Amino acid sequence: MDEHDGGWLTGRLLLASPSLEEPTFRRAVILLLDHDEGGALGVILNRPTDADLEAVLPGWSAVAAGPVTVFEGGPVGAEAALAVGVLEEGVEDEPLGWRPMYGRVGLVDLDAPVAAVEDALAGVRVFAGYAGWSPGQLEEELASGSWLVARSDDHDVLSPHPDDLWRGVLRRQDGELRLLASYPDDPSMN
C-alpha cells in the first residue's frame, strides 16, 4: 500500500484494477477525501451523469469545471449532493463554507452563496453520493488487489475529460502501473 500521513491514504487516488469488473467501480478513479481508523470516504471522479447541474443546483454551474453536470460520486447516499472544490493558487483566506481536506482540495458547502466562493475557487465538481468503506474494509480490498493507489493531482478533480481519467492517471505512473493504461477494455478481444 502506498501510504503517507501515518498509513492513511487521504488525498490519494484509488484506481480500479483491470480485474475489478463490478459495474459500479469498473475502471473507476476514486479520490479519497478521508481515510483513517474509522474507514474511508471518496468520490468517483470519472462518472458524469446526464443531470444538468444548473437545473439541480442553480448558480453553481458558474464555478463548476466542465463538463458542467452532476457526477455519480458512488453508491452511498446518492440522494445527497457533495461538492469538491480546488482553491485558486495563492488564496490565503478560506471562503465561506470551505472545509479543507488536503492541499488545495476541500469540500464546498452548497448552501453557501456562490458569490462567496467563486473568486477563491479554481473550480468545483458536484457529486451525487459517495463511495465509503467501513473500518478495515478498504485495506482488505487493497490487499486483494481490487485497487491500485496513485498520487492525485489537483487537475484530476476538475478533469475536463473524465472518461479518459483512468487511462490518463495510469499513463503518468512509473513501472508496471503505467503499462496497465493499455489494458484492453475487453481482454478476450486481445
DSSP β-bridge partners for residue 133: 40
* Helix boundaries (H) for 40-160: 53-56, 114-117, 137-143, 154-157
Give the model confidence (pLDDT) of 102-136 as tens digits.
899 999 999 999 999 999 999 999 999 999 999 99
pLDDT digits (tens, 9 = 90+) for 11-66: 999 999 998 889 999 999 999 999 999 999 999 999 999 999 999 999 999 999 99
Q: Which domains does the chain have, with CATH numbers?
A: 12-182 (3.40.1740.10)
pTM: 0.91
Q: What are phi and psi of 102, to 5 degrees?
A: -165, 150
- C-alpha to C-alpha distances, 88 to 91, 141, 151, nearest whole angstrom: 6, 34, 20
